[in-house]
Structure 1
Amino acid sequence: MKNRILGTTAFALVAASPFAAFAQTAAPADAGVSNVDEIIVTGSYRRSLEQAVDLKRKNVGFSDSIVATDVANFPEQNLAEALQRMPGVTIERNKGLGQRVMVRGLPSEFTFVSINGLATASGSGGRDVEFDIFASEIIQQVTVQKSPTAAHEEGGIAGSVNISTARPFDYEGRRVVAAVEGAYNSISEKVDPKVSFLASDTWGDWGALVSFSTARRTNRTDSESGINFRPLTRFLNQGSGRGAQAVDVLARDAGVVVKDRMNAKETDLIIFQDKVGDRAYLNTQDQWGGTISLQYRPSSNFSLAFDAMVGAYDTTEDEYDAAAYSASSRSTLETIHEYDKTTLGEYGMVVLRDVSYTATQHEMLSKERINKTDYRQFGTELNWSGDSWRLHALAGYSGADKTLDSSNLKHVAYAPSRTRWTNRGGETIPSTTTGGFDMYNSPDKYLFEAYETTLEHITDDKYAAQVDFTKYLSLDFFPALTSVQFGARYTDKTKQRDYGALNIQGSGAGKVDYVGRPMSQSQLTPIGDLVPGGAFNVRDLNWSQVSNDYARRTFRYDGFYTPFNVGDYYEVSEQVTAAYAMADFNFDIGSVPVMINGGARYVDTSITSSGYHQIQNPNGSTGYTPEPVSNDGGYDKLLPSLNITAELTDSILFRAAASETLIRPALTDLAYKRTASWNSYRFTDGNPNLRPTYAKQWEVGLEKYLPQGGLLSVSYFSKQIEGVVRQALTGVVKGVTKYNANGTVDGVYDFDVYQPINQPGSYDVTGVELVAIVPLGLIYSPLEGFGINANYTALDSSLAGQSKIGVPTPPIGLADSTYNFTLFYEKDSFQARVSYNYKDKYVEGIGYEMYPIWRDGYGQVDFSASYKLNDRFQVSLEGINITDEATTGYTMDPSFPTTYELSGRRINLGLRMEF
């Protein structure tokens, strides 16, 4: 049976055995595998922690878990946010909402995710899973595996996240639970509903369970962002006098003498602002999910279960953007008002802080992104055991279909302007030059350029089958060997992508009668009415533009659709066959009991990538023709693992683990595809020849167990990682014709080609992880009922120099430190918790492969309180981000901010009913 923690509490952090999923209820006492099935938690957060500590003491290996023992007990917005309480786990936020999970500060793509033992499809195409698509109320337990055994599916350098849904025999008899909740967002000022339900019953040898959850979330985010570095190469290498004028202005206003304006090595070190924008986002999310579980269990030695999980995550994001694109193709420098030669002087860089430009492209952009994701998973699992053996088998399917329908109504006005950095972003103000104007309040100046549409459909399918056999031993000649285990697994994963783009420029197909039409001829709405919640929060600004609803009704003529382009289709399939063997040993060294689990896993992977190359048309004619292309490849690897536990004293355990593991490249990166970034003059291609990223890792730790379920633990871990995938310049396409959105020719340029590659060499990541679970009544008796649950992770990395201009840069996504702290109180029917989680700054990308873009450290305070009115009813009050923290970022130095976003507080009031 699966390792499951049951009861009526909110959630608990637990440490689970790395091979507990393969344990049996009737295992011999000397098998060295603790019995962790059907542990009943008595209904309190504190008791659940005590159970967790008891499990941690008995099990072998490094791992942590979080458990929702019934429905509607996660206090956060989604599953990702619930996981951030676990030791070493942080999340990646998108406009205030937790989206991806990071383990021990490593990038999210280094984490492997499975549900009920099956690799999870979410439609992302990467190895990282978008956790926001899953309704957390249908999840029973999540375990983060940090030290794998040979029996665990390979795929997680940072760790493996194993999610379980509930089954009927997890409960004693009939169970019916329902919950309703209302959630208020402080910026959108909307109240969103959530309804959850679970029903489970058993009769004789059979049981059935159903659970369901549906919710709507309305999140508003106000943002001042997009103020990125842009090398002055953009202007200096242009003809028509623009490049020469930039050279003259640099010398005149900043004393910077350009020796060769066509030499990128020189011009890449002179920086100006790319685009400054004020943006309001409204993200409306409709989410539902449900599970069905049927279970046949005639005895404690036999169980057959069928699990199904289905759901959908539909989100519509409206973005309203007033922006100034300083690097427009018509513009160049006019006057440099302020420059900075000192802040980044060690790299030889000059940053133009305050500049007037000759012809900035001012934009009013109404963007609509509709994302519809449908996911499903079906699986069956067999557990059968005898007096000295156990058989475990599973088979199943996980799939997701994602459709992304995006549009951008673009009105532009070219005019002189002045753009400069502020203390938390940037701003554009009217130029003193003739022709300058107030970009926020001149709708008659903005002319229709295009209504751009894109349509993308992704199908993500994964199949798996696995069988494991365990033999428990009692050998007179080798008493230390207590069990051996063998197993095999086969997985088949496929991703297909269709993509198309089409611009509307007139009232019908082929018409251009909208081009040049002033924005003032459309229905305009003030920004405070375009998104609920009133005035813009980041700056004292007000402007009006076209709503997405009006744009869709007005500019999408009858019969319009966005066709798929055959040349943008690709398919990537991956088949993995794995086999493993491992053994468990139990013996004493002097008076110290020792448990060892060791083994090895062999994996063989084959990949087929199919798509199209764009071939230049013959005989000098313009344009490209798609030509089908396919590539087969593969690799194999032997992955050893070792886990050790030694009971030094009655209250102190020593643990150690070592293993080799891998993470495969994203299917998207393996695909034959080409994506154009026209404003950046670059193509991004896939690379079917990518290889996995490998890691050799080890860890040691000590755990001190205290009375009343307390715990103090420390561990030190080390990972040597090689073959990291990163984007690199691999070629140049000369003579590419670039078009404006209205169909006119902008010019002919050379485009850089970037591809994902396996970076040569390796780097080391080391870290320390601390955990403290302390009932404060142990320290001071009047504090009985209070306690703390805290953890801290600190990392150090050897990698530097990903920037092609030599700027020292840590691995993308890696944070030096993370910590979580929860203070809880519990007495009678009342429970309360206040939590703070923090993730240190990290590099989220490298602009133009040169300039590290940092996300600032972020901390958030949440709270949860509940009161049990009687045996059937419980009320709860929860607050998320109650201090209203902003998300911020910068390029290279905090004095060059790139991002400032406010997503507001969220207050939830709920009622839980149990029958």
Structure 2
Amino acid sequence: MEADAGAPAPAASALPAAVGSDSVAVLEGNAAAGGVQHLETIQVTGSYSRSLEQAVDLKRSNIGFSDSIVATDVADFPEQNLAEALQRMPGVTIERSKGLGTKVNVRGLPSEYTLVSINDLATASGSGGRDVEFDMFASEIIQQVTVQKSPTAADEEGGIAGAVKISTARPFDYNERKLVLSAEAAHNSISEKVDPHFAFLASDTWGDWGALVSYSQAKRTNRTDANSGINFRPATRFLADAGSRGSQAAAVLARDAGVTFSNRRNAAETDLVVFQDKVGDRVYLNEQDKWGATASLQYKPSSTFSLSFDAMRGGYDATEDEYDAAAYSASSRSTFDTIHAYDASTLSEYGMVVLRDVSYTATQHEILSKQRSNKTDYSQYSAALDWKGESWYIDAMAGYSGAEKHSDYANLKHVAYAPSRTRWTDQGGETIRSARSGSFDMYASPDKYLFEAYETTLEKVVDDKYAAQVNITKLLDLAFLPALRKLQFGARYTDKSKQRQYGELKITGPRAGDSSWVNRRTLADNPLQWIGDIVPGGDYSIDGRNWQQMSNADARATFRYPGFHTPFEPGQYYRVDEQVASLYAMTDFAFDIGAVPVTINAGARYVDTSVTSFGYHPIQRPDGSTGYTDTPVSRDGSYKNVLPSMNATAELADGLLLRAAASKTLMRPALTDIAYKRTASWSSFRFTDGNPDLKPTYAKQWEVGLEKYLDNGALLAASYFRKNIDGVVVNSLTGVVRDVAVYNANGSLNGIYDFDVYQPVNAKGAYQVDGVELVAQLPLGMFHPLLEGFGINGNYTMLDSSLAGESKLGIRTPMPGLAEKTWNLTAYYENSRFDARLSYNHKGDYVETIGYDMYPIWRDAYGQLDMSIGYRITDNIKLSLKGINLTNEITSGYTMDPSFPTMYEASGRRISLGLRADF
């Protein structure tokens, strides 16, 4: 991210969120400057409404479309991480996973279309993509956040959805010594655990020097109960079998549902008949230990010169225990036995028949104890120069951003094959006994389950990014062209590298290489506990079922024998290097058309990108087996782009701004999609390869809007925007690998199959997104004195998209991740001692993924009510009570139609009590 155009002062706005105080700030800078303005001085006032005024001042002064929050806006709201701290901004929503905000969406578009930077550095991530894993960041790092929705030429590409610009605090942001402490305890209603949270900030200046440090540490224990995994599976799974399984499936379909085929091995026909793939009752226990620290050393001998060194370190350790009692209807041994109910009408538009209630001949019943352990270490260092003369500015930055992530996964798998009956319910699905001999109660028969394997995987991702930039701004006063006010140009170079190592190991006995336990040791031979005793919080809350299984702690002790380790596989290694050099130039014009002041910012950015992908390329040997090249191979790619932009404002009347913007921008493909690698899905008979030839996704976009600024920080705004998006990355069938041997866990041959090969490719054609965004921020005291202290802050975004999902059945859907309607509303009251806020955030339904590239799987619309109450005991000490998800909303989803639910997750509410002191 380039340094903010025309903003000579260092970033500043308020105290870090969870340890901060309410504040007032003064804007400095040219209102016509292209880029993001910053707040220059801070005075503690204890007023939330004043912090909203600051955000309005930022919005008004920025040349493009943008919205901002300052730390006070976050400090008194309940949140669990940085993602949740941003969700109340106009056009911003978050993706939730098991009760936790994880990714940020801007204007309903997928998270990978948003560019995120901290202190002008696009952040590294432990994921394989470019989207930022917000759950690893504590919200205490926030000083100011601006979501810039219309880029300038000075911005690093800009992001198709927008750019989230995060600033941390510096010592000269405060006009006096500052020490802030906070402590909080939070209770989850399902796990019934109480989690601590502690943070502090200390800042001081002496003469020309200043130093600031902050630290935050938090623990989180959250339990989620879920009935999920109920996706569509095409009947092709059974019908394509050349033996008795296929013929029996065809006979049962004809007998019980009247469904026949001209050719039962023609997937184009059989993919239109679907059944439940798998039904699982699941309990997740997510435990997190998160810490973050920032430090800033600043040399500022005058108001025109500043040198700053900023550092940020953090650690995120998360362990998720998942306990499953599941029934896999589509097992390799099974087929249809009896169809009790089917639905030929709900999806008749697509010619589809859904088997709602079916008995199967040999369902694969599974008791699974899974554990996912992720450890991420994050660091960022940057040095910044800000130097202002009478008619010029120079700002420069050099920095590093890095993340290293270790992921350790284990799955203890016990399996029992037997007849059963599976059907949809209002909350998801259920599996019960069938009438066929040999069927059993899957929840109460541990002696029926045989040990299959203790499966482990190990992954290490290292993500490093170096960046340097310089910007030069010249203020102009030309007699022959008085409208030309400013010329700005600059350069930026980034060097990014991401590498990944991966390995798998299956433990089948008490020693390395021993398979004596496979199909001999039963689940009952292990130390078992009831599910309500393994995890805190008691019995399973979804449907009252109870079952026994082995805890992950006991599984690790039993199966990770002395000397155990999961080796990295050389063939799974990949590395992607990316270098980007960019130059830009832009100008600012200011003039009057009659009595209307007009400002225009226009420019272009030239971007030159080179990519090198290293890895072990997949090959097929003469004997038909697959493997990888003996030594790493590499592939080079490059592309060059010119990205023009224009932003303009016209003050039609006092406080009434007409704003317009147009630009071309891009988002680069995920590095994991570019890399040489092959991932196998043995159960789906599918390989997924990387594609080093991928190009970015581009957008040509424009926006026009009206903004009315009233007294006391009141704002009414409306805008209309359009984005034409080209080169969307989709997964596409690009080949077939024939005669692939698939083996069972005990080493026996399962069969020989043809595997489809899928790769990410740039889809042909352009797609259009139209949207409307409305913002209202109103202190109600402006209407009547009795309403003094009350206020509302709301926003609404609506999209109309022609973006199509990648369903090979031709089912038209929005692209995965795109929500058509989002809105936020906050109502508040405050006086000198007391404040209270209620905030409701709503995200409309959206396509989460497309199952088997055919069946769109939707996430239901979700709304969450949060609350915050604060009382200032003294001028320096404040007590707060906060609540997250007060109404205990359920997260749910469905495949194609709500009558076919896929998930039903309950994560509970979270209540916290905190104390904050500032001196």
For normalisation by structure 1, the TM-score amounts to 0.97
Matched, 1:245 2:248: yes
Deviations 1:866-899 (A, max 9, x none): 1111122110000000000000000000000001
- Asked whether 1:354 is paired with 2:362, we answer no
Relative distance call for 1:34 and 1:185 in structure 2 (3 A) is closer
- Offset of residue 59 of structure 1: 3.1
Q: Give 1:633-672 correspondences, 5 Å limit.
A: 633-672=637-676
Report what 1:515 is aligned to.
518
Matched, 1:558 2:562: yes
- What is the CA-CA distance between 1:614 and the residue it aligns to? 3.0
Q: Which residue identity does 2:685 align to in structure 1? A: Y
CA distance in 1, matches of 2:667, 2:35: 30
Instruction: Report the CA distance between 1:531 and its aligned residue.
Output: 1.0
The residue aligned with 1:845 is: 849
Q: CA deviation at 1:629?
A: 2.1
Counterpart of 1:68 (choices 71, 75, 80) is 71
Is 1:573–2:577 an aligned residue pair?
yes
Partner of 1:586: 590
Counterparts of residues 118-197 of structure 1 (less than 5 Å):
118-197=121-200
The 2-side partners of 1:9 and 1:623 are apart by 51
User: CA 1:789–1:12 in structure 2 vs 1: closer, same or farther (change >3 Å)?
Assistant: farther
- Closer/same/farther in 2, CA of residues 622 and 493 from structure 1, 3 Å limit: closer
Matching residue within 281, 286, 295 for 2:284: 281
Q: CA deviation at 1:732?
A: 1.1
Among 31, 49, 57, the alignment partner of 1:46 is 49
How far apart in 2 are the matches of 1:605 and 1:269? Answer: 44
Give the match for residue 721 of structure 2. Answer: 717
Q: What are the Cα deviations for residues 497-524 of structure 1, in whole angstroms up to 9, with x where unaligned?
A: 0000010001111111211211101000
Match of 2:14 in 1: 6
Percent identity (aligned)? 69
Name the counterpart of 1:911. 915
Q: Please state how far the C-alpha of 1:287 moved relative to its aligned partner.
A: 0.1
Rate the CA distance shift 1:13–1:72 in 2: closer, same or farther, 3 A: closer
Q: Is the 8 A contact 1:62 1:146 kept in 2?
A: yes
Partner SS state of residue 5, structure 1: coil
In the alignment, what sits opposite 2:311? 308
Deviation at 1:665, TM superposition (A): 0.2
Structure 2 distance, partners of 1:622, 1:84, is: 46
Are 1:221 and 2:229 matched, yes or no?
Answer: no
2:399 paired with 1:391? no
Deviation at 1:9, TM superposition (A): 8.4
Q: Which amino acid aligns with 2:829?
A: Y
Cα RMSD of the aligned pairs, angstroms, is 2.1
* 1:459 paired residue among 453, 457, 462: 462
Matched, 1:426 2:417: no
Whole-Å Cα distance in 2 between the matches of residues 180 and 555 of structure 1?
40
The offset of 1:261, in angstroms, is 1.0
State the match for 2:869 in structure 1.
865
Query: Residues 623, 702 of structure 1: CA spacing in aligned structure 2 closer, same or farther, 3 A cutoff?
Result: closer
Give yes or no for contact 1:106–1:815 (8 Å, CA) kept in 2. yes
Q: Name the CA shift for 1:627/1:736 in 2 (closer, same or farther; >3 Å).
A: farther
Query: 1:801 and 1:527, CA in 2 relative to 1: closer, same or farther beyond 3 A?
Result: closer
Please give the secondary structure, in 2, of the residue aligned with 1:234: helix
Whole-Å separation in 1 of the counterparts to 2:44 and 2:488: 31
CA shift for structure 1 position 34: 7.1
What corresponds to 1:824 in structure 2? 828
- 1:779 corresponds, among 778, 783, 786, to 783
Would the aligned equivalents of 1:15 and 1:62 in 2 still touch at CA under 8 Å? no
Q: Is the 8 A contact 1:12 1:67 kept in 2?
A: no
> Does structure 1 conserve the Cα–Cα contact (< 8 Å) formed by 2:618 and 2:627?
no
Give the Cα separation in 1 of the matches to 2:628 and 2:496: 31
Q: Can you list the C-alpha shifts for 1:472-508, whole angstroms capped at 9, x where unaligned?
A: 0111111111110010000011000000001000111
Shift of 1:259: 1.4
Moved more, 196-205 or 32-41: 32-41
Give secondary structure in 2 for the equivalent of 1:260.
coil
Aligned AA (2:564): F
Q: 1:753 to 1:562 in 2, by over 3 A?
A: same
Q: Which residue is 1:77 aligned to?
A: 80
Per-residue deviation at 1:277?
0.3
| Counterpart among 250, 256, 265 of residue 259 in structure 2 | 256
Given residue 859 of structure 1, which amino acid in structure 2 is its aligned partner?
A: G
CA deviations 1:131-177 (Å, max 9, x no partner) are: 00001112212111101100011151000111111100011121000
- Which residue identity does 2:97 align to in structure 1? N
Flag the 1:52–1:142 CA change in 2: closer, same or farther, 3 A: closer
Instruction: Give the letter for the 2:705 counterpart.
Output: G
Distance of 1:343 and 1:113 partners within structure 2: 42
Counterpart position of 1:87: 90
The 2-side partners of 1:197 and 1:14 are apart by 17
1:754 to 751, 754, 758: 758
In structure 1, what residue type is equivalent to 2:120? G
Aligned in 2, Cα 1:178/1:70: closer, same or farther, shift over 3 Å? farther
2:207 is aligned, of 204, 209, 215, to 204
Alignment of 1:28-43 (within 5 A): 36-38=39-41, 40=43, 42-43=45-46
Who is 1:601 aligned against?
Answer: 605
Would you say the 8 A contact 1:16–1:56 is kept in 2? no
Letter in structure 1 aligned against 2:711: P
Identify which range, 771-780 or 829-838, moves more after superposition.
771-780
* Paired letter, 1:631: R
The residue type paired with residue 746 of structure 2 is N
* AA in 2 matched with 1:487: G
Residues 32 and 584 in structure 1, CA contact (< 8 A), matched pair in contact too = no
8 Å contact 1:416–1:436 — kept in the other structure?
yes
Q: Name the structure 2 match of 1:735.
A: 739
Matching residue of 2:794? 790
Please tell me whether the aligned partners of residues 23 and 47 of structure 2 are also in contact (alpha carbons under 8 angstroms).
Answer: no
- Give the counterpart letter for 1:360 in structure 2: T
Structure 1 residue 32: Cα displacement: 12
1:891 alignment partner in structure 2: 895
Choose from 406, 409, 414 the match for 2:409: 406
Deviation readout 1:330-371 (Å, 9 max, x if unpaired): 000110000111000111101100000000000000000000
**C-alpha separation between the residues in 2 aligned to 1:9 and 1:236?**
58
SS in 1 for 2:563: coil
Q: Which amino acid aligns with 1:240?
A: G
Q: What residue is the counterpart of 2:3 in the other structure?
A: none
Hey, what does 1:447 align to over in structure 2? 450
User: How far did residue 625 of structure 1 move?
Assistant: 5.8
Q: TM-score, normalised by structure 2?
A: 0.96
- In structure 1, how many angstroms separate the alpha carbons of the residues matched to 2:711 and 2:618? 68
> Equivalents in 1 of 2:904, 2:101: separation in Å?
17
Could you tell me how far apart the structure 1 residues matched to 2:35 and 2:278 are?
61
**Change beyond 3 A, Cα 1:705–1:622:** closer
Sort the Cα spacing of 1:417 and 1:233 in 2 relative to 1 into closer, same or farther, 3 A. Answer: same
Q: Which runs of 5+ in 2 are unaligned?
A: 1-8
Contact 1:28 1:388 (C-alpha < 8 Å) held by counterparts: no
Q: Which of 289, 294, 299 is the equivalent residue of 1:296?
A: 299
2:321 to 296, 318, 321: 318
CA distance in 2 between partners of 1:28 and 1:639 (Å): 24
CA contact (8 A) 1:8 1:42 kept: no
- Aligned letter for 2:476? L
Q: 1:690 to 1:30 in 2, by over 3 A?
A: closer
**Hey, what's the Cα distance between the residues in 2 that align with 1:551 and 1:135?**
32
2: CA distance, partners of 1:621 / 1:497: 25
